[in-house]
Amino acid sequence: MIDKKEVLATAKLARISLTEEEAELFKHQLTKVVEHFGRIREIETTHVEPLYTPLEIPAEPRQDEQKNFNIGDPVFEEAPEIVGRLFKVPPVV
């Protein structure tokens, strides 16, 4: 069972704030989710082959083709700042 302390710790990691009522609600909901995964874990899958896709569709590889995409001047006209034909954005630290 998940307790309120775990819910609040998870909320802190996710950088969200919860009221006491929300923490209590999520405690019950997350406990049900964990219990459901516990029941799924008990399913016998020893003789089940893993799937790469749920449907048996044959892969049809295609040739790589180079395409030129000209986004045009209207896009650059809407940009707050451009340098040549590049968008200038603030640095990300």
- Tens place of pLDDT for every residue, the chain, 93 residues? 899 999 999 999 999 999 999 999 999 999 999 999 999 999 999 998 888 777 777 778 888 888 877 767 788 888 888 888 888 988 887
Question: Does residue 60 lie within any of the structural domains?
Answer: no
Question: Does residue 18 lie within any of the structural domains?
Answer: yes
Question: Does residue 8 lie within any of the structural domains?
Answer: yes
- pTM, entire model: 0.51
What total number of domains does the chain contain? Answer: 1
Contact indicator for 7, 33 with CB cutoff of 8 Å:
no
| SS3 letters across 24-45 | HHHHHHHHHHHHHHHHHHCCCC
Question: Does residue 49 lie within any of the structural domains?
Answer: no
How far apart are alpha carbons 82 and 75 in whole angstroms?
Answer: 11
Q: Which domain holds residue 19?
A: 4-41
